[in-house]
């Protein structure tokens, strides 16, 4: 596969941008490679600067649930563009998207739009601290909530991939107010609440974890979390930035009927443009400025172009059968990969929830971060390179999730499984 143009661009990029990238995992360091530079995308495919094409399972790290350049989304964006790109004043589009979110996500009565998932989680935690008058935030090992100071303790995604425990530049005082516990460990949770429950401002959790690879929740764990936070006056925050409108139209909370106090959203909600949102009970949300004292603002928040892309995306997701079709396609991929690994005599574990899929090279179940870390990352790197060579574009780390979109065809899935078969055979020990 020719990569000359990408290689040249990367040399220039590294001089101008730290690490040559605007978000760390894109650099592909953990798999020992340089990134390919993408020129355009269409449906399930990406096309790079050297003219190679790939079946895309990153989907811009989650947002592209409809695939790239869905005609209805492009049309909605173009319609707004003809009227302007940003007004810094209220528009009907913001209200429309807010109402769609409220009717989709069961626990959300009011919602505030921001520009990224990071902004949503930072703001939700500030709100939780503001209304409880407490400082302590509990999170879980391997969960990623964006790059806010509070969350850079035992974090997932790029932080896990780079193998760093936290980050320089985060004040000690800040981290002292964050407690990170093992995911899915109900007993540990009960012990910590027995001791510190009354000082906890918020518990933030990925209700399906997608930033340590894919790790589904133990439902007893989520239910206990709900009970304990309620009993101790702490705010339960579901970080559904990845899972919202992805695992189901109403997110994980709709899937399992467990209701948080606040929900963070992002990714899919912006239809490929930069949008985040946080919402929840009106009683809590009404504490945000200008209605209440908790300050949060944004020059481009509720941007009309982004709102239009979000609205157009959600309209399609709402169509009957959308998630059923996506599920069938994702199940076919899971089955194909499992069979291919088995035939090659390679031990893998695939965790999947809907169109989110994580693949670990291990023979033991993966239900938390410690278990994910025991998987063979060297095999993963070889697998990644092999798949890329066959035109399959996966996330360059086992600590990320693969995303299937509605643009993936049966042929795409079959081609992917055929590629995996060859790559698994080559891994044979
Ligand atoms: C991606 C992600 C974030 C951060 O969102 P950004 O838009 O990258 O700031 C937060 N939480 C979860 C669960 C995510 O997957």
Q: 211 C-alpha to center of ligand 1: Å?
A: 9
Ligand 1 neighbour 148 (Cβ under 6 A) = no
Exposed, middle or buried, 218 (CB in 10 Å: 0-12/13-18/19+)?
Answer: middle
Q: 277 C-alpha to center of ligand 1: Å?
A: 11
Best of 21, 267, 397 for a ligand 1 pocket test (most atoms within 8 Å of beta carbon): 267
CA distance 306 to 269: 9
Q: What is the pTM of this model?
A: 0.97
**Which pLDDT value is given to residue 176?**
87
Query: 267-288 burial, b for 16+ CB within 10 Å, e for fewer?
Result: bbbbbbbbbbbbbbbeebbeeb
Among residues 223, 189, 190, which one has the least CA distance to residue 207? 223
**Which pLDDT value is given to residue 429?**
58
What stretches in the chain show pLDDT beneath 70?
162-165, 429
| Domain map (residue ranges) of the chain | 4-69+321-425, 71-317
Q: Of all atoms in ligand 1, which is nearest to the CA of residue 242?
A: 15
Among the four given CATH numbers 3.40.50.1100, 3.20.20.140, 3.30.70.20, 3.90.1150.10, the one describing domain 4-69+321-425: 3.90.1150.10
Q: Of all atoms in ligand 1, which is nearest to the CA of residue 276?
A: 7
Q: 276 C-alpha to center of ligand 1: Å?
A: 9
Is 71-317 in the same CATH topology as 4-69+321-425?
Answer: no
Cross-strand partners of 138: 179, 203
**Which pLDDT value is given to residue 159?**
73
Ligand 1 neighbour 121 (Cβ under 6 A) = yes
Residue nearest atom 11 in ligand 1 by C-alpha distance: 145
Q: Of all atoms in ligand 1, which is nearest to the CA of residue 143?
A: 13
**Which tokens go with 211?**
């930033």
Q: Are 36 and 48 in contact (CB under 8 A)?
A: yes
Ligand 1 neighbour 263 (Cβ under 6 A) = no
Q: Are 262 and 204 in contact (CB under 8 A)?
A: no
Among residues 266, 253, 278, which one has the least CA distance to residue 211? 266
Q: Are 65 and 73 in contact (CB under 8 A)?
A: no
Cα four-point dihedral sign 244, 388, 10, 40: negative
Ligand 1 neighbour 206 (Cβ under 6 A) = yes
- What's the pLDDT tens digit per position in 213-252? 999 999 999 999 999 999 999 999 999 999 999 999 999 9
Active site residues: 144, 239, 267
**Which tokens go with 232?**
């101790």
**Which tokens go with 396?**
């360059």
Q: 62 C-alpha to center of ligand 1: Å?
A: 9
Ligand 1 neighbour 144 (Cβ under 6 A) = yes
**Which pLDDT value is given to residue 229?**
98
- Sequence-distant (6+) residues with CB within 8 A of 307 are 91, 93, 94, 96, 97, 113, 275
**Which pLDDT value is given to residue 164?**
63
Q: 317 C-alpha to center of ligand 1: Å?
A: 20
The H or E element spanning position 314 is helix 304-317
Among the four given CATH numbers 3.30.470.20, 3.40.50.150, 3.40.640.10, 3.30.360.10, the one describing domain 71-317: 3.40.640.10
Q: Are 317 and 245 in contact (CB under 8 A)?
A: yes
Q: Residue 245 carries which DSSP code? A: T
Residue nearest atom 5 in ligand 1 by C-alpha distance: 117
Ligand 1 neighbour 270 (Cβ under 6 A) = no
Best of 119, 139, 146, 277 for a ligand 1 pocket test (most atoms within 8 Å of beta carbon): 146
Q: 281 C-alpha to center of ligand 1: Å?
A: 22
CA distance 207 to 237: 9
CA distance 42 to 38: 12
Residue nearest atom 15 in ligand 1 by C-alpha distance: 242
- What's the pLDDT tens digit per position in 148-195? 999 988 777 777 776 666 778 888 888 889 999 999 999 999 999 999
CA distance 48 to 53: 6
**Which pLDDT value is given to residue 163?**
65
CA distance 32 to 378: 10
Q: Are 348 and 364 in contact (CB under 8 A)?
A: no
């Amino acid at each position: 596969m020719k990569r000359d143009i990408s290689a040249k661009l990367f040399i220039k990029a590294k001089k101008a941008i730290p690490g040559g990238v605007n978000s760390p995992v894109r650099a592909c360091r953990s798999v020992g490679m340089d990134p390919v530079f993408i020129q355009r995308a269409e449906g399930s495919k990406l096309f790079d600067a050297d003219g190679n094409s790939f079946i895309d399972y990153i989907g811009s790290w989650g947002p592209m649930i409809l695939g790239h350049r869905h005609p209805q989304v492009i049309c909605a964006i173009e319609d707004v563009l003809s009227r302007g790109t940003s007004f810094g004043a209220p528009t009907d589009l913001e209200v429309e998207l807010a109402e769609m979110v409220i009717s989709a996500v069961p626990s959300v009565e009011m919602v505030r739009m921001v520009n990224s998932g990071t902004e949503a989680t930072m703001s939700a935690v500030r709100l939780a601290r503001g209304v409880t008058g407490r400082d302590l935030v509990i999170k879980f090992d391997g969960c990623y909530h964006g790059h806010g100071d509070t969350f850079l303790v035992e974090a997932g995604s790029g932080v896990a991939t780079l193998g760093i425990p936290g980050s320089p530049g985060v004040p000690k005082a800040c981290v002292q107010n964050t407690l990170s516990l093992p995911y899915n460990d109900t007993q540990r949770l009960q012990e910590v609440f027995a001791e510190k429950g009354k000082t906890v401002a918020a518990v933030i959790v990925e209700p399906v974890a997608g930033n340590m690879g894919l790790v589904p929740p133990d439902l007893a764990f989520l239910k206990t979390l709900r009970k304990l936070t309620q009993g101790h006056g702490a705010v339960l925050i579901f970080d559904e930035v990845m899972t919202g409108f992805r695992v189901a139209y109403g997110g994980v909370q709709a899937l399992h009927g467990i209701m948080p106090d606040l929900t963070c959203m992002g990714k899919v909600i912006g239809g490929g443009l930069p949008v985040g949102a946080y919402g929840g009970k009106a009683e809590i949300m009404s504490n945000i400025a200008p209605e209440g004292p908790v300050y949060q603002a944004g020059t481009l928040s509720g941007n009309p172009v982004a709102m239009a892309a979000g609205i157009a995306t959600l309209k399609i997701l709402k169509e009957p059968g959308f998630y059923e079709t996506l599920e069938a396609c994702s199940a076919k991929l899971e089955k194909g990969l499992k069979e291919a690994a088995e035939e090659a005599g390679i031990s893998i574990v695939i965790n999947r929830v809907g169109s989110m899929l994580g693949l670990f090279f291990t023979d033991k179940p993966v239900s938390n971060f410690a278990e994910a870390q025991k998987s063979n990352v060297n095999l993963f790197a070889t697998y990644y390179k092999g798949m890329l060579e066959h035109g399959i574009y996966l996330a360059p780390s086992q600590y990320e999730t693969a995303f299937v979109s509605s643009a993936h065809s049966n042929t795409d899935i079959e081609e992917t499984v055929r590629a995996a078969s060859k790559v698994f055979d080559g891994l044979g020990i």
